[in-house]
Amino acid sequence: MHRRSIATFGLLALLLAAPAVAPAVALAADAPAKAAGKAAVKPRVVFQINEDDSRKWHTVLANLNNVQEELGGRAEISVVVIGPGLGMLKLDALTANGVQDAMTAGVRFVACGNSMQSMKLTKDDMIDGIDYARAGYVEIMRLQKRGHAYIRP
């Protein structure tokens, strides 16, 4: 009986220690990739835009470029645009060319469908190639759950 309790205690201790050891094991497993100069995990970021301010939009486009340059183009970048910020993604926006350039460089732009509906905008009003989410804030939550850092300039 005594051996069984020691074995049970040992197993319990091992199970409790596993979550603490797992990150160290994962870091050790990533060591060869890091030594070779490769990141084990692709950096991810989501920007939220919900203002009708073309100066801010141009600043965000410059920030997207800065992030890409700093990370060598390896980052997975999304920009979720909600409410009045949707003007940034319209065909006639002052930022349309900048948005298209960022998309060519791999940035994903997502328009909030709820905001589009309330503002009576259709896909025909928007820049070709952007993505759509039913609810912009829920899209941000999904991206954060997948490991995206959140930035609201």
pLDDT (tens digit, 0 to 9) for every residue of the chain, 153 residues total? 555 544 444 433 433 443 433 333 333 333 444 555 555 588 999 999 999 999 999 999 999 999 999 988 889 999 999 999 999 999 999 999 999 999 999 999 999 999 999 999 999 999 999 999 999 999 999 999 999 999 999
Residues 58 and 131 in one domain: yes
Q: Structure pTM?
A: 0.73
51 shares a domain with 106:
yes
One domain for residues 30 and 66 = no
* Same domain? 15 vs 51: no
Q: Domain range holding 2?
A: 1-38
Cβ atoms 153, 60 nearer than 8 A: yes
Are 110 and 70 found together in one domain? yes
3-state secondary structure of 42: coil
C-alpha span between 98 and 113 (Å, rounded): 22
Q: What is the CATH number of the domain that holds 115?
A: 3.40.1260.10
